[in-house]
């Protein structure tokens, strides 16, 4: 008979596999492209096969198999995939697969499944690479960078963090002014002034960031094109070195570089991707779209602490502001669990706690300043 700890492990593994199977089923149903739909369906079948193994282990130990309830994280991911399409959540799925690829490494009874989970991670990275026009290695590197939070083009992550900035900053601002003893009209004016000012600042900052990135990228590409035109031998040598760094034999690397150099456009595209690390089709995205999205997301988050003062005032308004802000923070915490690897409950509780502590600090500071200035 298995020990209590082993039974808990079997149960957790079963739940994880059933969640993954349900998510891939949803991706398969929502995917318009036949080749990717087939990949998702095959991954769902593989996850169900893994689930059946853990279910059999539980049954062998006399543990009844209850009807599985999908985790909140999985339900959210399925909803987002159904509404916005699989590509909206694909980077989140890929990062989670990368994080979980070694989850069976320390389980001696799951050696074969451990190999298959690593293969699943590679498959999803391959789908990401096809979406972005990257080679497989670049896609995996991009996913690892995203997973560490260093940089990300992931729409879901950017949306959640943008709303979080608006909610927390305006919540703290409102609580500081309320703590200073300002009247309800002053608090309401401050709340919406903070919303507009913060959202405008975020939009301008995003516009400048994307615009500057695009201009720098264009300048670098122009320099690369000039070098191709005037120093083709040096650029061919650089290409050969790039492929040698990837593990290609020197002679083969020189042959590949010479072949690529026969087409200047192809050579420029390759050097832009490999040497500069840029995607010539994107160059950082559209600055106006990025600015509008930043404005909207910040404003949505900032509305949570502000709206109670439209119909309430005084202590009652502050209490409603705290309650609505805590609800918004909890929702943001749940969404962050989609890409931080923690449970939805833990992420929500942590987000609420940090937000309330920060707002409590500004409230206390505002009260001290209000007393000293009165």
- Which CB contacts under 8 angstroms, 24+ apart, belong to 112-119? 113/50, 113/53, 116/46, 116/50
Gap between the Cα atoms of 90 and 40, Å rounded: 11
Please report where in the chains the tokens 């900052």 appear, as a residue: 205
Q: Give the containing element (helix H, strand E) for 5.
A: helix 4-30
Sites in the chain below the pLDDT cut of 50: 133-153, 371, 373-374
Query: By three-state DSSP, how is residue 85 classified?
Result: coil
> Which tokens in the block code for residue 62?
């006399």
Which residues, at least 6 apart from 49, have a Cβ–Cβ distance to it below 8 Å?
Answer: none
Question: Hey, what are 265's tokens?
Answer: 């456009």
What is the signed CA dihedral for 182, 186, 191, 197, rounded to 10 degrees? -120
pLDDT value for 138: 41
Distance CA 96, CA 73 (A): 12
Report whether 280 contacts 218 (CB < 8 A). no
Asked whether 10 and 66 are in contact (CB, 8 A), the reply is no
Three-state secondary-structure class, residue 146: helix
Euclidean distance between CA atoms 267 and 121, whole angstroms: 31
What secondary structure letter does DSSP report for 23?
Answer: H
Q: What angle do CA 194, 199, 201 make, to 5 degrees?
A: 95
Cβ count near 114 (within 10 Å): 17
Of 92, 63, 229, the residue nearest 157 (C-alpha): 92
Q: What is the pLDDT of residue 275?
A: 67
235's tokens? 């650029």
Q: Are residues 167 and 115 in contact, defined by beta-carbon separation less than 8 angstroms?
A: no
**Per-residue model confidence (pLDDT) at position 135:** 43
C-beta contacts of 137-145 below 8 A and 24+ residues apart: 137/246, 138/273, 140/98, 143/91, 143/94, 143/95, 143/98, 144/98
Q: Are 17 and 52 in contact (CB under 8 A)?
A: no
User: Do the Cβ atoms of 235 and 227 come closer than 8 Å?
Assistant: yes
pLDDT at 23: 92
Q: How far apart, in whole angstroms, are the C-alpha atoms of residue 360 and residue 187?
A: 16
- Spatial distance between the Cα atoms of 73 and 343, rounded to a whole number of angstroms: 8
Tokens 């399925």, residue located: 78
Q: Are the beta carbons of 43 and 51 closer than 8 angstroms?
A: no
Spatial distance between the Cα atoms of 319 and 307, rounded to a whole number of angstroms: 12
Predicted pLDDT at 373: 45
Task: Answer for the pair 350, 333: CB distance below 8 angstroms, yes or no.
Answer: yes
Please state, in angstroms and rounded to a whole number, the distance separating the CA atoms of residues 224 and 272: 8
Could you say which DSSP state residue 66 is in? P
């Amino acid at each position: 008979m298995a020990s209590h700890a082993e039974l808990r492990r079997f149960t957790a593994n079963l739940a994880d596999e059933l969640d993954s199977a349900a998510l891939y089923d949803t991706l398969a149903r929502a995917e318009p492209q036949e080749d990717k739909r087939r990949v998702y369906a095959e991954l769902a079948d593989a996850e169900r096969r893994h689930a059946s193994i853990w279910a059999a282990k539980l049954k062998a130990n006399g543990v009844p198999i209850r009807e599985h309830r999908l985790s909140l994280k999985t339900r959210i991911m399925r909803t987002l995939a159904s509404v916005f399409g699989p590509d909206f959540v694909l980077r989140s799925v890929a990062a989670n697969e990368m994080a979980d690829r070694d989850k069976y490494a320390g389980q001696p009874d799951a050696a074969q499944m451990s190999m298959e989970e690593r293969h699943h991670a590679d498959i999803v990275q391959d789908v990401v690479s096809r979406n972005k026009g990257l080679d497989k290695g670049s896609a995996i590197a991009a996913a690892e960078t995203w997973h560490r939070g260093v940089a990300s083009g992931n729409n879901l992550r950017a949306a959640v963090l943008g709303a979080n900035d608006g909610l927390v900053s305006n919540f703290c601002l409102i609580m500081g002014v309320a703590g200073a003893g300002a009247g309800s009209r002053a608090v309401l004016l401050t709340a919406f002034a903070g919303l507009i000012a913060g959202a405008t600042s975020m939009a301008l900052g995003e516009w400048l960031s994307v615009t500057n990135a695009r201009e720098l990228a264009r300048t670098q590409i122009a320099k690369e094109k000039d070098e191709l035109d005037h120093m083709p031998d040096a650029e061919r040598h650089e290409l050969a070195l790039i492929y040698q760094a990837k593990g290609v034999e020197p002679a083969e690397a020189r042959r590949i570089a010479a072949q690529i150099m026969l087409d200047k456009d192809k050579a420029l595209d390759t050097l832009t991707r490999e040497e500069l690390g840029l995607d010539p089709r994107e160059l950082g995205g559209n600055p106006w779209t990025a600015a509008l999205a930043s404005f909207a997301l910040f404003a949505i988050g900032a509305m949570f602490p502000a709206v109670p003062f439209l119909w309430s005032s005084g202590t009652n308004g502050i209490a409603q502001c705290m309650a609505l802000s805590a609800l918004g923070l909890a929702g943001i915490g749940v969404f962050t669990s989609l890409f931080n690897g923690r449970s939805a409950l833990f992420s929500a509780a942590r987000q609420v706690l940090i937000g309330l502590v920060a707002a409590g600090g500004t409230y206390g500071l505002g009260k001290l300043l209000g007393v000293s200035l009165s």
